[in-house]
Amino acid sequence: MSHDHIDVSYVAKLARLDLTEEEVKTFQSQLEAILGHVESLTALELPDDLNLDANDHLAMMRDDNPLPSLPSELVLQNAPDQAQNQIRVPKVVADA
Amino acid sequence: MTLTALRQQFLNGETTPAKALEDLAEKIKTRDETTKAFISYDLERSLEIATKADISKPLGGLPIAIKDNINTFGQPCTCGSKFLENSYVSPYDATVITKLLDAGAIPFGRTNMDEFAMGSATENSAIQLTRNPRDPERIAGGSSGGSAAAVADGTAFAALGSDTGGSIRQPASHCGVVGLKPTYGRVSRYGLVAFASSLDQIGPLTLSVDDSALILQAIAGHDPRDTTSLDSPVPDYSATINNGVDGLTLGIPEEYFSEGIHSGVRENVEKCIQRLESQGATILPISLPYTAHVVATYYVIAPAEASSNLSRFDGIRYGNRSKDASDIIDVYHQSREAGFGPEVKRRIILGTYVLSSGYYDAFYTRAQRVRKLITRDFIQAFKKVDAIISPVTPTPARRIGACAGDPLQDYLSDIFTIGANLAGIPAISVPCGTTAFDGSPALPVGVQILAPHLGEQMLLRVAKAAEQQPLR
């Protein structure tokens, strides 16, 4: 599998990252080198005597009892913008 | 001075917690001008705790520096990042902080780190560069470089760090202090800003193995707020620490003593092994065949988990939000672009890529399977040996800036520490000597000891036997 064409701009967009042109260029070569190294995993022969997909960590559950969480005033202390005891953000839904 | 010695001074009435704190603050003012281990410290607040300290408690009155990714109520928690700098104050205590306070300790000082714990040099901190107190032209190691440097420099008696791929052990080795990564799940991660959730662990950096046991005793234990926390009793870590290595079998993995190791590192580690043998240990060569794949496995899994964990930094609820965003999506893009440094961006992109459609099975699923094989290597080895001995790093601390532009080179130097994180086993770095390297006459060298899951008693016992006098 070739990774010469990892589309850094596209993957960055998936991760909600705006990159400068310089960053795209720098990361392109660096990530290709890193992927070249990790690619060795894809060629590795895995033994079939082991259940390698077994999930050792079962989801831990607790009883559905409400417990205290952070008070609103403490949470809002860190909010970049707030109003009416809520975090204020730019418009999420476009106007009709 | 070790924590144990300071505690004795409190009990003898030679000094008080408040005086010890004030003396420490004075040292920070002078020595930290160069080392820059501390991002911030709040003397007034810590003195309030100190004046009420109960010195009869296990850590009564003892100041402990905290890596700046561990939430402490009312304190900044920058994670070494512009994203959180001057914009986030912890609204709660991490479980480890609650436990330290319950044991009587005083959290004092927020230590520098690679941004969001991503790095092996503390060069990736967006706040400041931490220098190695042994040679200021050298890295302190990372990502817990500030914690290791503070303990080595005498501006902290002990510190907490976090270890995802070696970030406690490697800076401990480079700075000549003791650094312990517990078994995965032994210490609660609640309140630790997550980097890679299946790998992260909090642990102590100290001047002595006894101090390491003292802190681990206080912070270990089940926490219902961390679902990965092990519900397993915490033994008395000091009970067997002086039992020595007579009768034990110590494994030496051939893959960890390859050609790429600096001769001074090899010599010091081998001398340590000889000392342990002279104390009655049997030395047994072993093999960990999947060692060649640990770096590749880690650099798929860790960035993948990081890309998920760091999606919470979106500029909405906390952190620095960009001012010029036109809509909500723009807030995410611009805040993250401005807030994250290059290494963090690189790892988020790498992680997003290996989790993306078309590549998920080839990379992420694959790496998880190889991880099980790496873990199996250790489990098989521990059927024959009580503990494993290895170098911590292939070389002593490199020069600051030596890997600029070549992140892969730094990644490859994590080869000896990563295995313990992937397998979830406990590991410790203990100073074992110094060596000349690249123009510096005497840089610290650490020896790594690894033990089975929940084998911290064995780990500390072997570490104590390997320990020599502290460098300071």
In a domain, A26, yes or no: yes
- Candidates A12, A40, A89; nearest CB to B293: A40
Report yes or no: B321 at the A interface, CB cutoff 8 Å. Answer: yes
Q: What is the mean pLDDT of residues B40-54?
A: 95
Q: What is the mean pLDDT of residues B332-349?
A: 95
Confidence band for A39, pLDDT divided at 50, 70 and 90: confident
Q: What is the mean pLDDT of residues A20-49?
A: 88
- What is the predicted pLDDT for the residue at A56? 59
pLDDT value at B2 more than 70: yes
Task: Give the closest residue to B130 by CA, choosing from B105, B155, B106.
Answer: B155
- What is the predicted pLDDT for the residue at B454? 98
B74 and A78 in contact (C-beta within 8 Å)?
no
Does B353 sit within 8 Å of A31, measured CB to CB? yes
In a domain, A85, yes or no: no
- Minimum mean pLDDT among A40-49, B169-178, B218-227, B395-404: which range? A40-49
The tally of domains found in chain A comes to 1
- What is the predicted pLDDT for the residue at B151? 98
Q: What is the mean pLDDT of residues B447-470?
A: 93
- What is the predicted pLDDT for the residue at A1? 44
Among A18, A45, A70, A76, the strongest candidate for a mutation testing the B interface, having the largest count of B CBs within 10 A, is: A18
Among B349, B359, B360, B409, the strongest candidate for a mutation testing the A interface, having the largest count of A CBs within 10 A, is: B349
In a domain, A92, yes or no: no
Q: What is the mean pLDDT of residues B211-215?
A: 98
User: Does residue A53 or residue B47 have the better pLDDT?
Assistant: B47
The B residues from 383 to 412 touching A (CB cutoff 8 Å) are 405-408, 411-412
CA distances from B315 to A16, A23, A64, B445, B459 (A): 11, 21, 31, 42, 42
B78 and B113 in contact (C-beta within 8 Å)?
no
**pLDDT tens column, B365-386:** 999 999 999 999 999 999 999 9
Measured between beta carbons, the chain B residues lying within 8 angstroms of A76 are none
Q: What is the mean pLDDT of residues B335-344?
A: 96
User: Does residue B137 or residue A56 have the better pLDDT?
Assistant: B137
Report yes or no: B342 at the A interface, CB cutoff 8 Å. Answer: yes
- What is the predicted pLDDT for the residue at B413? 86
CA B472, distance to chain mean position in Å, is 20
**pLDDT tens column, B78-102:** 999 999 999 999 999 999 999 999 9
pLDDT value at A80 more than 90: yes
- What is the predicted pLDDT for the residue at B469? 57
Q: What is the mean pLDDT of residues B154-161?
A: 98
Q: What is the mean pLDDT of residues B202-217?
A: 98
In a domain, A51, yes or no: no
Would you put residue B61 in left (φ > 0), alpha (ψ -120 to 50) or beta?
A: left
Does B92 sit within 8 Å of A70, measured CB to CB? yes
**pLDDT tens column, B244-291:** 999 999 999 999 998 889 999 999 999 999 999 999 999 999 999 999
Report yes or no: B325 at the A interface, CB cutoff 8 Å. Answer: yes
In a domain, A71, yes or no: no
Percent of chain B with pLDDT over 90: 93
Confidence band for A62, pLDDT divided at 50, 70 and 90: confident
Report yes or no: B184 at the A interface, CB cutoff 8 Å. Answer: no
User: Does residue B62 or residue A40 have the better pLDDT?
Assistant: B62
pLDDT value at B15 more than 80: yes
pLDDT value at A43 more than 60: yes
pLDDT value at A47 more than 70: yes
Measured between beta carbons, the chain A residues lying within 8 angstroms of B296 are 37-41
In a domain, A14, yes or no: yes
Confidence band for B407, pLDDT divided at 50, 70 and 90: confident
- What is the predicted pLDDT for the residue at A53? 61
In a domain, A13, yes or no: yes
Looking at CA atoms only, how far is residue A11 from chain B in angstroms?
6
- Candidates B91, B334, B408; nearest CB to A78: B91
Structure tokens at B405: 């532009």
Range of the domain at A38: 8-43
pLDDT value at A58 more than 80: no
pLDDT value at A61 more than 90: no
Residues of B labelled as active-site residues: 67, 143, 167
User: Does residue A39 or residue B131 have the better pLDDT?
Assistant: B131
Does B330 sit within 8 Å of A52, measured CB to CB? no
pLDDT value at B456 more than 70: yes
pLDDT value at A96 more than 70: no
Measured between beta carbons, the chain B residues lying within 8 angstroms of A18 are 333-334, 336-337
- What is the predicted pLDDT for the residue at B169? 98
pLDDT value at A2 more than 70: no
Task: Tell me what ipTM this predicted complex has.
Answer: 0.91
Q: Which residues pair with B161 in a beta bridge?
A: B203
In a domain, A24, yes or no: yes
- What is the predicted pLDDT for the residue at B30? 94
pLDDT value at B137 more than 90: yes
Domains of chain B: 3-244+426-466 (3.90.1300.10)
- What is the predicted pLDDT for the residue at A57? 59
**Closest-CA residue in chain A for B353?**
A11
Residue type, B108: F
| Mean of all residue pLDDT scores within chain B | 95
Report yes or no: B262 at the A interface, CB cutoff 8 Å. Answer: no
- What is the predicted pLDDT for the residue at B257? 94
Q: Which residues pair with B443 in a beta bridge?
A: B435
Q: What is the mean pLDDT of residues B330-341?
A: 95
B179 and B168 in contact (C-beta within 8 Å)?
yes
